[in-house]
Structure 1
Amino acid sequence: MHQAIAESSLEELSAELVLYTGRLVRAITRQAVGLSTQVPTASLRLLSQVDELGPVTIGALAAADRCSQPTMSAGVQTLCDRGWALKEPNPADARSSLVTLTEAGRTILTGARRERAAVVAARLRTDPHHDEQDLATAVAVLRGLLDQPDTAPDDDAPEGDA
């Protein structure tokens, strides 16, 4: 950062980042047409998590999504039934399976991401206040935040989504 930001300002801006990224994702989801409207949002989110974390156990997916293992098992089974994911024995632990995307699942996810990217691009084309460089900066900031290792929340910090 070029100048020091007061802690309260950093907290306020961080809260706005969380608020507006969530709103943007929801707005994009509402505007998307085609393939991504035919695939339930929960399935796309799960495909994305498997893409990010896979090969991954159902337990690790449940922990990442902060849901129960039975709930995640049902979601994974839905993906497998549609041919979008595959469960294979875990060579490190015979009691569990590893979940991976199939080519069909990867195709669905890639298509949905392209459709949603087109919505963002269309919004940017009509926005007189922001340009491609602003988008590049936003992407760099978000990538940098996500490149940091996850840390456990403070014991005093409230949990949950905003």
Structure 2
Amino acid sequence: MNTEHEQLSRSLEDLKVKVAESQKAILSLEVAVANRGAATEEAVDAYTRLLSNLGLFPPLPPPFQNIDLQVELNTAASQPEHLFKGPDVRRVIKPTLNAIVESKRSERAAVESERIKVDHELDQLISECENLEDEINETEKKVMVLNEQADDLREVRPFPAKLNTVPPLK
């Protein structure tokens, strides 16, 4: 009977040690869950700020006007499926965001194409202006040469006096 009592005492001590280890593990896991919950709340807040900054709060532009991209975190949920309140992240939010990204990319490509077209037209106009400026400079040079030739001709043949005088005003 002593041996049975000793075995039971050892078993009881082993169980007490295992209970203490389990309590430490539970405490450690509770801390980890709390930390992950806080990090998840920060991520949801950052996501909400991004939605706000990008103007993706309802109503969204067509064809997404019936979709609400907002999510709320429910840290008290006992099942992982119920952690988020709102539309399904995998089936609704992610495909919608991907579609919005694609539409914005195509809009950006169209704007970039238009910018390139306008830049090309601007370059052509600048080139035409430079050509006109060159033509104006050439014409000014020709006018200066003609003025000098006219001055030289005036010096050689003076005009009659009648042409140089201005008629009196009445």
| Fold match (TM-score > 0.5) | no
Please state which structure has a larger fraction of its residues in helix: 2
Higher relative contact order (CA 8 A, sep 6+): 1
TM-score between both structures, scaled by the size of structure 1: 0.24
